[in-house]
């Protein structure tokens, strides 16, 4: 059983998704319970996998259809033909993030998304999102990667337009769908280039044999650019604000995680597929790193400046998501640049820290941004609008939400003792060694972030109590509060004990991404 966990983690939600309509026939509560159970079990499985990974040290490989799941090479062949899952530190790190976020989002949406005939689809789509994320994080097979990305995209775009009665939701969903479709088709072309040349989809195998032909380089562009686009990095970020702001709040939280799954794709492909520091015929790490850095800094800056002028609370947060993605790119980019440093002294000194900061930030961001989006859901619930100018005085009534918002806002601004600080300080201190100016920019962007969240805080939470503008005056459902509470707890806990997270999750993740030198 335990050795089948990798595939189970993907199939359980997948089958749950198909079973749910049947269960729903009995009672919608039964469906809710089943869905919760499924997602919970995925969480448990991921945790178990993580434990096993840390025990064994080496990546877990799971081959579908072989006599034993660990049998990689079929007899008589020197390259793998079977579909293979490979779980290293980075995969499990991402899987943990995705699983937790989807769990919390689901709990939040149990009551938040009103119970109507379409709720069924909602649950199913959320399940499929989980499947997509976990799948592409676990797979070691390019084609599977594409398939899971498609699952993720389709389910996400459907969810974005879930509130179809709003004017822009279908539009946003459509936009997201189009972008995803374009992105995945390019990805597919890239994959085709590989298959045509090397006859395999297996990432690990390809990594060994890649020759960096012109075609490979084109493939690189065809594969990395669409993924960066789906991750919401500048300059292909235009879908983010629409999709994030139109989706229901819990979906947005999950969407953040979905974007990060794409970011995972970027990193995975550039490192595990293209990156080959040992051979001479390799990708120019220096250039790649700088591209990532520039993208990161641009994302940071453009995101935050756009956010500053927003009045729509969710759009504002969406732009911050872009901006925060910049931090991850910056951290990882710096790590990449110095990775090729002769002798690896610089990498040892701070490149690894930068990388760790960037990757740690992924998880942190998923949690605090999730938290923020969940609180924005409460705002929308209360005021029936996303326009900050039409909100006021929420702190008078929703104390817990306010606290959660404060925690999230401080975390995203990188204020101690919240988790944003833990990763940002790693980024600052290491990036600073690389280039002080970048560190100053990063710090300044944080201050701007803070300023813009102060604006939200002032606009929505403070001001006089005004009962007239409240649309829904009921106390928050316990599930909503609980969901925010979980994130809030995580945000604080990871900020207070960053050492443990770094040691048990982030370091293996970095090790998984770049083989140690």
Compute how many other C-beta atoms are within 10 angstroms of the C-beta atom of residue 4. Answer: 12
Q: Going by C-beta distance under 8 Å and a sequence separation of 6 or more, which residues neighbour residue 127?
A: 13, 14, 16, 17, 20, 35, 38, 39
Class of residue 176 by CB neighbours under 10 A (exposed 0-12, middle 13-18, buried 19+)? buried
Give the whole-angstrom CA distance, residue 269 versus residue 148: 15
Tell me how far, at minimum, the Cβ of 373 lies from another protein, in Å. Answer: 21
Minimum CB distance to another protein smaller for 172 or for 380: 380
Tell me how far, at minimum, the Cβ of 413 lies from another protein, in Å. Answer: 8
Minimum CB distance to another protein smaller for 30 or for 345: 345
Class of residue 86 by CB neighbours under 10 A (exposed 0-12, middle 13-18, buried 19+)? buried
Is the Cα dihedral 435, 437, 440, 444 positive or negative?
negative
Minimum CB distance to another protein smaller for 147 or for 496: 496
Count of chain residues binding another protein (CB under 8 A): 40
**Spatial contact of 491 and 407, defined as CB atoms under 8 Å apart:** yes
Give the whole-angstrom CA distance, residue 490 versus residue 45: 19
Which of 258, 439, 488, 491 binds another protein (CB under 8 A)? It is 439
Give the whole-angstrom CA distance, residue 389 versus residue 317: 15
Phi and psi torsions of 312, nearest 5° = -90, 120
Binding residues for another protein restricted to 273-312, rule: CB under 8 A: 309, 311
Which of 274, 383, 432, 434 binds another protein (CB under 8 A)? It is 432
Q: Does 512 bind another protein (CB under 8 A)?
A: no
Minimum CB distance to another protein smaller for 186 or for 461: 461
Q: Does 448 bind another protein (CB under 8 A)?
A: yes
Q: Does 444 bind another protein (CB under 8 A)?
A: yes
Task: Choose the stretch contacting another protein; rule: CB under 8 A; options: 69-77, 166-174, 188-196, 454-462.
Answer: 454-462
The residue behind tokens 């520039």 is 294
Tell me how far, at minimum, the Cβ of 281 lies from another protein, in Å. Answer: 34
Q: Does 79 bind another protein (CB under 8 A)?
A: no
What does the longest C-alpha to C-alpha distance in the chain come to?
76
Tell me how far, at minimum, the Cβ of 459 lies from another protein, in Å. Answer: 7
The residue behind tokens 């610089």 is 346
Q: Which of 112, 119, 62 is nearest to 91 (CA)?
A: 62
139: which strand partners?
Answer: 85
Give the whole-angstrom CA distance, residue 227 versus residue 267: 10
Task: Choose the stretch contacting another protein; rule: CB under 8 A; options: 33-41, 136-144, 293-301, 428-436.
Answer: 428-436
Which of 74, 277, 384, 463 binds another protein (CB under 8 A)? It is 463
Q: Does 368 bind another protein (CB under 8 A)?
A: no
Binding residues for another protein restricted to 390-419, rule: CB under 8 A: 393, 395-396, 399, 402, 406, 410, 414-416
Q: Does 464 bind another protein (CB under 8 A)?
A: yes
- Which residues of the chain form contacts with another protein (CB under 8 A)? 309, 311, 349, 388-389, 393, 395-396, 399, 402, 406, 410, 414-416, 421, 425, 428-429, 432-433, 436, 439-440, 443-444, 447-448, 450-452, 454-455, 457-459, 461-464
């Amino acid at each position: 059983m335990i050795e089948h966990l990798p595939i189970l983690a993907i199939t359980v939600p997948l089958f749950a998704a198909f079973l749910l309509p049947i269960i729903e026939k009995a009672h919608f509560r039964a469906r809710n319970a089943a869905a919760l159970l499924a997602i919970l079990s995925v969480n448990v499985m991921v945790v178990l996998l993580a434990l096993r990974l840390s025990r064994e040290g080496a990546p877990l490989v799971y081959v579908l259809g072989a006599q034993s799941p660990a049998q990689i090479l079929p007899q008589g062949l020197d390259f793998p033909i079977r579909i293979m899952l490979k779980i290293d530190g980075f995969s499990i790190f991402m899987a943990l993030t995705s699983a937790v976020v989807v769990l919390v989002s689901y709990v939040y949406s149990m009551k938040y998304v009103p119970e109507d005939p379409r709720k069924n689809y909602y649950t199913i789509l959320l399940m499929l999102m989980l499947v997509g994320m976990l799948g592409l994080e676990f797979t070691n097979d390019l084609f599977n990667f594409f398939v899971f990305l498609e699952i993720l995209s389709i389910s996400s775009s459907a969810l974005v337009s879930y509130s179809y009665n709003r004017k822009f939701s279908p539009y946003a969903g459509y936009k997201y769908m189009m972008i995803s479709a374009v992105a995945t088709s390019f990805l597919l072309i890239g994959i085709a280039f590989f298959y045509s040349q090397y006859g395999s989809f297996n990432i690990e195998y390809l990594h060994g044999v890649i020759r960096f032909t012109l075609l490979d380089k084109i493939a690189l562009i065809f594969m990395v650019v669409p993924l960066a686009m789906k991750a919401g990095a500048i300059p292909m970020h235009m879908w983010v604000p629409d999709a994030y702001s139109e989706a229901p709040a819990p979906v947005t939280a999950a969407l953040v995680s979905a974007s990060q799954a794409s970011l995972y794709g970027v990193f995975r492909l550039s490192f595990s597929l293209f990156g080959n520091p040992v051979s001479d015929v390799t990708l120019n790490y220096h250039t790649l790193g700088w591209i990532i850095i520039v993208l990161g800094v641009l994302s940071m800056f453009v995101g935050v400046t756009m956010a500053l002028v927003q009045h729509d609370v969710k759009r504002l947060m969406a732009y911050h998501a872009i901006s925060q993605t910049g931090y991850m790119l910056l951290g990882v980019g710096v790590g990449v640049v110095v990775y090729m440093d002769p002798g690896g002294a610089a990498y040892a000194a701070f490149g690894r820290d930068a990388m760790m900061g960037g990757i740690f930030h992924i998880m942190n961001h998923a949690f605090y941004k999730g938290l923020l989006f969940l609180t924005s859901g409460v705002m929308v619930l209360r005021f029936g609008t996303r326009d900050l100018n039409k909100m006021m005085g929420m702190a008078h009534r929703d104390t817990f939400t306010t606290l959660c918002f404060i925690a999230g806002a401080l975390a995203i601004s990188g204020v101690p003792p919240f988790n944003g600080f833990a990763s940002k300080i790693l980024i600052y201190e290491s990036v600073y060694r690389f280039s002080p100016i970048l560190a100053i920019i990063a710090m300044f962007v944080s201050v701007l972030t803070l300023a813009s969240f102060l604006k939200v805080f002032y606009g929505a939470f403070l001001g006089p109590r005004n009962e007239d503008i409240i649309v829904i005056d009921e106390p928050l459902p316990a599930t909503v509060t609980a969901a925010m509470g979980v994130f809030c707890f995580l945000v604080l806990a990871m900020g207070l004990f960053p050492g443990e997270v770094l040691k048990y999750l982030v370091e293996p993740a970095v090790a998984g991404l770049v083989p140690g030198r």
